[in-house]
């Protein structure tokens, strides 16, 4: 039984759990000054000693001032060579936690009891009432929240494809049908070899003659072994296979992309299947 995995390529910037009920009193420092609605993103935050001290044990706190793509190197350098499994980026719940961790570092309070109770147990968390989560984040944090939100929503849809590989597929499909995409040498249709001169017509018949928009009913995931059609599976060398599923009302078109280790598209196959196959 084929497992269908919904592809989502674009998301809104995403918010943490919005500031809500009073968080109580105690030793928490006073909240930052109010920010007007048209204010620019906040500058990089000055980290409290508690957060600085907690970061090696709470890696998500590095994303307060570290770009997402620099996180692993920064964590390893500042934590004495310690390794981390990318904060559990393959786990949907971990992605939600990491995103909210960025807000918690600013003392944002939460509506959901789940986050309120979880962060209340953290010694570095100092809640403040009245923080505007829309303007409290720096540009680096905004970019990190966007990436985590995108990954989190995709993860909940079951996506297993990396952001980079998803972009490769998206970029290849984007020009269709205005500009025919650049074709690899190895082309197949229903496991039969296909000449480049015949590709556009056959592809249009199966995929459609309108611009392809990934998302909604469209799906993307990795394939291996016998799940890869016989034609494209015969390609030599080390390749990875990504299957795109373009959904219709009663049938779908499957497009198999074969990329080498340099991200070059070396093979392509497509076929049409009835729903439920």
210-224, pLDDT tens digit by residue? 767 655 545 777 787
Q: What is the residue-averaged pLDDT of the chain? A: 76
Q: What is the pLDDT of residues 29-87, one digit of tens each?
A: 344 433 333 445 566 567 789 999 999 999 999 999 999 888 888 998 999 887 776 67
Residue 64 to residue 66: CA distance in whole angstroms? 6
Give the pLDDT band of residue 102 (cuts 50, 70, 90).
very high
Percent of the residues in the chain that have a pLDDT greater than 70, as a whole number: 71
On whether the CB atoms of residues 269 and 232 are closer than 8 A, the answer is yes
On whether the CB atoms of residues 141 and 5 are closer than 8 A, the answer is no
Q: Is 223 left (phi over 0), alpha (psi -120 to 50) or beta?
A: beta
Residue 211 to residue 72: CA distance in whole angstroms? 38
Both tokens of 58, joined, read 């709470």
Q: What is the pLDDT of residue 40?
A: 53
Q: What is the mean pLDDT of residues 194-200?
A: 90
Q: What is the pLDDT of residue 265?
A: 96
On whether the CB atoms of residues 40 and 137 are closer than 8 A, the answer is no
Q: What is the mean pLDDT of residues 185-208?
A: 88
Q: Which pairing describes strands 219-223 and 239-247: parallel, antiparallel, or unpaired?
A: antiparallel
Give the pLDDT band of residue 105 (cuts 50, 70, 90).
very high
When mean pLDDT is compared over 4-13, 20-29, 207-216, the highest value belongs to: 207-216
């Amino acid at each position: 039984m084929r497992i269908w995995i919904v592809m989502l390529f674009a998301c809104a910037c995403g918010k943490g759990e919005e500031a809500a009920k009073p968080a109580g009193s105690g030793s928490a420092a006073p909240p930052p000054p109010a920010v007007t609605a048209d204010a620019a993103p906040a500058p990089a935050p000055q980290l409290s000693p508690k957060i600085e001290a907690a970061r090696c044990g709470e890696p998500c706190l590095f994303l307060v001032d570290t770009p997402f793509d620099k996180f692993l190197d920064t964590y390893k350098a500042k934590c004495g060579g310690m390794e981390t499994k990318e904060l559990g980026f393959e786990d949907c719940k971990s992605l939600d936690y990491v995103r909210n961790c960025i807000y918690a570092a600013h003392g944002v309070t939460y509506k959901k009891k789940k986050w309120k109770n979880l962060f209340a147990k953290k010694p570095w968390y100092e809640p403040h009432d009245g923080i505007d989560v829309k303007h409290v984040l720096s540009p680096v944090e905004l970019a990190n929240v966007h990436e985590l939100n995108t990954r989190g929503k995709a993860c909940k849809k079951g996506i297993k494809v990396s952001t980079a590989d998803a972009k490769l597929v998206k970029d290849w499909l984007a020009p269709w049908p205005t500009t025919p995409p650049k074709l690899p040498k190895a082309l197949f249709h229903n496991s039969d070899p296909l000449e480049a001169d015949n590709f556009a017509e056959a592809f249009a018949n199966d995929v459609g003659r309108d611009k392809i928009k990934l998302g909604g009913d469209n799906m993307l995931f990795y394939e291996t072994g016998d799940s890869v059609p016989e034609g494209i599976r015969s390609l030599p060398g080390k390749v990875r296979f990504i299957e795109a599923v373009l959904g219709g009302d009663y049938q779908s078109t499957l497009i198999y992309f074969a990329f080498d280790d340099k991200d070059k598209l070396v093979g392509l196959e497509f076929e049409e299947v009835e729903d439920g196959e």
